[in-house]
Amino acid sequence: MSITISPLDAPLGAEVRGFDFAAGADPGVLATLRAAVDEHLLLLFRNGERIPTDQQVEDFCSAIGPLRPTLADRSRLPGHPGINRVSNRDAGAVQGTGGCGRVTWHSDLSFRPPLIEFLYLDAIRTTTAGGDTKWVNLVAAYDALGDDVRARIDSLGVRYRLRDGLDFSGYFKAGDGIETSRTTEISLVQRNPRTVRRSVWPNTGPDFACEVVDLEPTQGADLLAALFVHCTDERFAYRHRWAPGDACLWINTQTMHERDAFPDDEERVLRHVNILGVADPRQAAA
């Protein structure tokens, strides 16, 4: 398999051409893709009508790293629990998660180590308007901070818990037994172990409540709010308009993403996969 990788005209991302999900990835191609996602943070595959099967998606993502099913157990695909149906429509017993409203800036978070390092999302059915996904480059956001700010935040940790009042039966499609009181401590500055590039990760929403460890609550909240505004500036952002067959793989710990609302009278269907990887030293220590 011969692939080409071309950077997008954007603050992050590259398009991969020539990759065949049906053929799978040999070690050489996989190494090329890993290096590319490390460099560009986001990879875009345009499959068109050749939408990968559930098994092909699972095989590809498993080649990147171990899969971790999301909290949304009611939206997991039968036989493929690592894949979730992201949709405003159910498919038999599989409930679509995510609704049709706007989903604000966030990264996906696991309360058990290792961190979710990569995310995969692909489109099976799209709408005529809305539903765009945006990503921000948190490496560039970190680099754009002043030296004094970087020195201040490099050693800080953030303690996360699920927000009160989350709609587990509606938005999350989660069954009983969710440990809503669980907390975890994660470094505010993430480091890619392969490139050693740093990213600032002020993951303040929409699902988590968080506080900066060893800072007074108001001081920590102000710091996270300022970093969040900085990181979500348009100069760091790429917006993607989905077409059926599009697939994206990105580094979860060095980006945040959000989704635009879309009309609920149209069906939108995507597949989502969490891929484990890097161990955060603070989370691992706990």
Taking residue 281's Cβ as centre, other Cβ atoms within 10 Å add up to 14
Torsion of CA 149, 257, 57, 8, to 10 degrees: -80
Mean pLDDT on 175-187:
81
CATH fold label, 4-285: Double-stranded beta-helix (3.60.130)
166 pLDDT exceeds 80? no
pTM: 0.96
What percent of the chain lies above the pLDDT cut of 70? 98
pLDDT band at 284 (very low <50, low <70, confident <90, very high): confident
24 pLDDT exceeds 90? no
177 pLDDT exceeds 70? no
Domain boundaries, the chain: 4-285
**Predicted confidence (pLDDT) per residue in 41-52, tens digit:** 999 999 999 999
Residue in this structure with the two tokens 């800036």, named with its chain if needed: 105
d(CA 87, CA 183): 28
**Predicted confidence (pLDDT) per residue in 250-276, tens digit:** 999 999 999 999 999 999 999 999 999
Average pLDDT across the chain, whole number:
94
Tokens of 199: 């990213």
pLDDT at 81: 96
**Predicted confidence (pLDDT) per residue in 115-164, tens digit:** 999 999 999 999 999 999 999 999 999 999 999 999 999 999 999 988 87
Kindly report whether the peptide bond that precedes residue 206 is cis, defined as omega within 30 degrees of 0. yes
Q: If 0-12 CB within 10 Å is exposed, 13-18 middle and 19+ buried, where does residue 9 land?
A: exposed
Residue 211 sits at the vertex; the CA angle it makes with 162 and 214, to the nearest 5 degrees, is 145
Strand, coil or helix: what is 143?
A: helix
Pairing assessment for the beta strands 183-187 and 157-162 based on DSSP bridges: antiparallel
Q: Which H or E run contains 269?
A: strand 269-276
Question: 269, 77 in Cβ contact below 8 A?
Answer: no
d(CA 187, CA 114): 13
**Predicted confidence (pLDDT) per residue in 70-87, tens digit:** 889 999 999 999 999 999
d(CA 115, CA 257): 16
169 pLDDT exceeds 70? yes
**Predicted confidence (pLDDT) per residue in 222-248, tens digit:** 999 999 999 999 999 999 999 999 999
Mean pLDDT on 206-217:
91
Among 105, 129, 102, 134, residue whose Cα is nearest residue 239:
134
Pairing assessment for the beta strands 246-251 and 4-7 based on DSSP bridges: unpaired
pLDDT at 71: 86
Beta bridge partners of residue 129, listed in sequence order: none
Q: What contacts 228, CB < 8 A, 6 or more positions away?
A: 105, 202, 204
Residue 134 sits at the vertex; the CA angle it makes with 228 and 78, to the nearest 5 degrees, is 110
Q: If 0-12 CB within 10 Å is exposed, 13-18 middle and 19+ buried, where does residue 142 land?
A: buried
